[in-house]
Amino acid sequence: MGRIVLATHNAHKVAEFQGIVARTRPDLEVVSYDGPEPVEDGTTFAENALIKARAAAVHTGLPALADDSGVCVDVLGGSPGVFSAYWAGHAKDDAANLALLLDQISDIRDPHRTAHYTSVIALVLPGGGEHTVEGVWPGRIAREPRGAGGFGYDPVFLPEGQERSVGEWSAEEKNAVSHRARAFAALGPLLAAL
């Protein structure tokens, strides 16, 4: 079995990636990253994903995957975007981020609450070679959180054509169609070479 490191200390992301990878590449073991956390000072999802993947590849000597993702709300000009994890401050508090976002768009009518999740996955090979792919999952923001599943903004994200929030979905449902699943599908041909 091949091994690839996922450059994150976020246990939710590790579990989600392991589920996504198992669907298409059961021969590939996703291991968690135990190294230092680099400063994510990029201004795009791609820049931040590459920063993390480079650090993990150097630290472990393994091929490294890194995801940088967030929710992009149209009426907020695409924000929180790359600042999704820190929207309410540096504590990375999911509940506070969610509450702030809902407060900021509380007066926005439902037709204008459109949003999308974006995920950029970077693959960095220890011997050289860097690639990025992007997955986008369109939807809208609900008026209040629903469900206890997922993490981050999942309880208020209603995928296009759905009335259930991602917080009400099973992990299997989410992993089949999420922004990360879409980015990972685009990464498939690159992983085939590992």
At residue 118, the 3 state secondary structure works out as strand
Is 131 known to sit in a ligand binding site? no
| Contact of 24 with 184, CB cutoff 8 Å | yes
Could you say which of 67, 68, 93, 110 is catalytic? Answer: 68
Is 116 known to sit in a ligand binding site? no
Is 152 known to sit in a ligand binding site? yes
Is 132 known to sit in a ligand binding site? no
DSSP 27: T
At residue 26, the 3 state secondary structure works out as coil
CA atoms within 13 A on the CB side of 66: 28
Other beta carbons within 10 Å of 159: 21
Is 68 catalytic? The answer is yes
Is 13 known to sit in a ligand binding site? yes
Is 10 known to sit in a ligand binding site? yes
| Contact of 110 with 123, CB cutoff 8 Å | no
Is 12 known to sit in a ligand binding site? yes
Is 25 known to sit in a ligand binding site? no
Is 9 known to sit in a ligand binding site? yes
Report the amino acid identity of residue 40: E
| Contact of 183 with 67, CB cutoff 8 Å | yes
Query: Residues comprising the binding site for Mg(2+)?
Result: 68
Query: Residues comprising the binding site for substrate?
Result: 8-13, 69, 151-154, 174, 179-180
Catalytic residues: 68
Query: Residues comprising the binding site?
Result: 8-13, 68-69, 151-154, 174, 179-180
